[in-house]
Amino acid sequence: MKLVLLRHGATAWSVSGQHTGLSDIALLPEGVDQAKRAAENVRSVLGEEWESAVVISSPLQRAQITAEIVFTRERVSTTNTLLEMDYGDYDGLTSSEIRSTRPNWNLWRDGCPNGETVDEVGARCDEFLRSISRPEQPSNTFVAVAHGHVLRILAARTLELPAVQGRLFTLGTAATSVIEDVRGQRCVSLWNLSA
């Protein structure tokens, strides 16, 4: 298996550092430009697998439009399993705003009130991985276009690490990463390639 992870391009909230969960925020013009540049990276890492890769996106517009810029609308399917983490009461807030009332708050440890836990996002990622592991899939190469935290957790789960270990991975906007099977071992072959 080869799994290419692509984070969406920049939005106003990603630039300001606001937690952007299920809010359907549009790409900035800069984010559209990043997606266009990311297309070159994705094409390069896929090589001959470009045409056969299965492209799956979060349905939120910032991810779906990024996917459609890199590929074409016809190639992109969507799944709710790739939605960003639900930040609940913290959606739209920056970490410093949250820490003004909860000084020791840590997303990976504490989660978000009225939102999802890291383990709940991990369960969605497991569901996504099961869906691409079905024998009827037309390809063994997949591109997941989504959001920072869900992709970090997906990386951890793809590597059979606990969901909380997604904290070890960082992802810039429109960054490309690759996890693949190499000589019988699943490993990170590329991480956080900037657009």
Residues labelled catalytic? 8, 84
Closest CA to 171 of 156, 161, 187, 186: 156
Q: How far is CA 104 from CA 89, 97, 99, 159, 168, in A?
A: 17, 12, 7, 29, 19
How far, in Å, CA of 120 to CA of 116, rounded?
A: 6
Residue 101: which residues within 8 A CB-CB, separation 6 or more? none
Q: Which residue in the block uniquely carries the two structure tokens 């978000």?
A: 112
